[in-house]
Amino acid sequence: MLKPIFLVEDNPKDLELTLIALERSQLANEVIVLRDGAEALDCLFRRGNYANWQDGNPAVILLDLKLPKVDGLEVLKAIRETPELRSIPIVMLTSSKEEPDLMRAYELGVNAYVVKPVEFKDFVSAITELGIFWAVVNEPPPGSTRYRAIGQPHRHERLRTGRNDE
């Protein structure tokens, strides 16, 4: 079973565009949408509504910088400080071109920092390339692959190819 892609995004327009772009890339990975930094951390640390999460760690996290509750840099920091999560590839997907944001993201260990293109065609192309690289081409560290246990559907929002499958 393929590992999911986590998309942590609060902006409905950016969320929709990213899902369209991922759908066009024809990846088989499920896309798990998390709407803020606190929800992303709850899912990764298996707490709150995600206490019974058994899907394992994602293939990649596409993480917005400016998020409600807990911002993207704080999420990145928490992940990199946790040995069980440290090797998850994280792509900061943001509209911020601010040098301090870029520098801080790399200081905290982001794998890539991608400024969201304004043009739809460029945005789709960038997301397609990101998805293919991190979900298909990239070779994860040994022992980092975890698979979902067979069982009941989860309460989180699970999206595949832009449709709600639950």
Decide: 116 and 123 in contact? Cβ < 8 Å. yes
Q: Where are the domains of the chain?
A: 5-136
| Across 36-50, 107-121, 123-137, least confident range | 123-137
pLDDT at 165: 38
In CATH terms, the superfamily for domain 5-136 is Response regulator (3.40.50.2300)
Cα(110)–Cα(81) distance, integer angstroms: 12
Angle 37-44/72-80 helices, nearest 10 degrees? 20
Calculate what percentage of the chain has a pLDDT beyond 90.
45
Residues in the chain: 166
Q: Is the pLDDT of residue 23 over 70?
A: yes
pTM (two decimals): 0.77
Per-residue pLDDT tens over the stretch 99-123: 999 999 999 999 989 887 667 777 7
